[in-house]
Amino acid sequence: MKNLFVMGTAGSGKTSVALGLALKFRQEGYRVGYFKPVGNAVGTGSKLDEDGLLMKEVLHMEQPVETIVPYLAGPAYLSGYRNPCESLRSIRQAYEAVAEDKELVIIGGASFPHIMGCLGLDAVSLALEFKAAPLFTINITDDFSIDQAIFINSYLACKGLNVLGNIFHNVPLPLLAKTEGIYRPILAERGFQTLGVIPQNQEMTAPTVKEYYEVLGGEILAAREKMDRVVEDVVIGAMSIESALGYLRRAANKAVITGGDRSDVALAALETDTSALILTGGLYPDVKVAARAEDKGVPVILVHYDTYTTIEKASSITRKIRANDERAIHTAVDNIEKHVDWRNVLKLLQ
């Protein structure tokens, strides 16, 4: 039995990489399972981890999602404090159920490697527990990103874990040359291998309006049936209408965040390439806004946060792959085939 632990920070592409590798290895004839020791429930009233739901359906796993992802943790998880030994025992039992008759188990990490460190259930401790080889995904945005990657790789090595390698995921086009010419060699100088550099793909990474709604909540005022529209950019409509017009015309497939009392900005946005209107402050707009948005097929979400808080929450929103999103699933496998040395991943696992 071989265990591959895909870990990284939030938004680094752990799910996409794990999914692509799992499906590619299955194409190569391996019996592959997926396990995520610590997950998080998202969406109102949800008690299931979305990665678990995705992998169960795509990999046709028999186990219930509660076994594939046995532990859910939120920001206040210590309020429901459990005995660490009991928690680890239940995670181990769930893993054994998933791993039965499998040649390879891909283990998915939590949003950040340090999560649940208080109970010894952080990614590093769990990788040691399952004798899993870590594969680290890097979300490169600037030079500090490579500092973080080196720090975590070094920490894993200090803990006695044989780091399989790193995958740069969703690399912005302006940073591709720097990633290959500077970041990758810097990792190599420190003894850390790069196994792939996956370029940015908006179809794969741009979140949908529905994902904004799941994080922000609120009330849908128009075009409820168009929540699958993709959001590639965010424009803040907090300036004068004259200043706003320039920004609104330049950005495509955008979400426009503005106060509910700024019907002038909202109506102007609806005459440009807009995927969603997000109105803040709990202020209902002029009836013309909802009517025009319905005509244009642009969802309008009314939230009760102020504009600053809404922007802050929106900044953490990322695209989630759904089991019925055939294009995203195909792209995940295609990324592995084209941009990742997956054969070497298999070789290093032996």
Contact by Cβ (8 Å): 145, 170: no
Q: What is the pLDDT of residues 198-230, one digit of tens each?
A: 998 866 677 889 989 988 999 999 999 999 898
CATH 3.40.1390.20 placement within the chain:
207-314
Helical ranges in 191-240 per DSSP H: 202-205, 209-216
Long-range contacts of 264-271 (CB under 8 A, 24+ apart): 265/237, 265/241, 266/237, 266/293, 266/300, 267/292, 268/241, 268/244, 269/235, 269/237, 270/296, 270/298
Among candidates 182, 116, 102, which has minimal Cα distance to 149? 182
* CATH classification number, 2-204+321-349, choose in 3.40.50.700, 3.40.30.10, 3.10.129.10, 3.40.50.300: 3.40.50.300
Query: Residues 22-67: pLDDT tens digits?
Result: 999 999 999 999 999 999 765 545 578 889 999 999 999 999 999 9
Q: How far apart are the first and last CA of the chain?
A: 10
Q: Is residue 2 helix, strand or coil? A: strand
Ranges in the chain annotated CATH 3.40.50.300: 2-204+321-349
So what's the pLDDT on residue 130? Answer: 96
State the architecture of 207-314 in CATH terms: 3-Layer(aba) Sandwich (3.40)
Average the pLDDT over each of 18-22, 78-82, 106-110, 115-119 and give the range with the smallest value.
78-82
Give pLDDT tens digits for 286-335: 999 999 999 999 999 999 999 889 998 888 787 778 788 888 899 999 99
Pull the structure tokens for residue 337: 């085939």
In one-letter notation, the amino acid at residue 282 is G
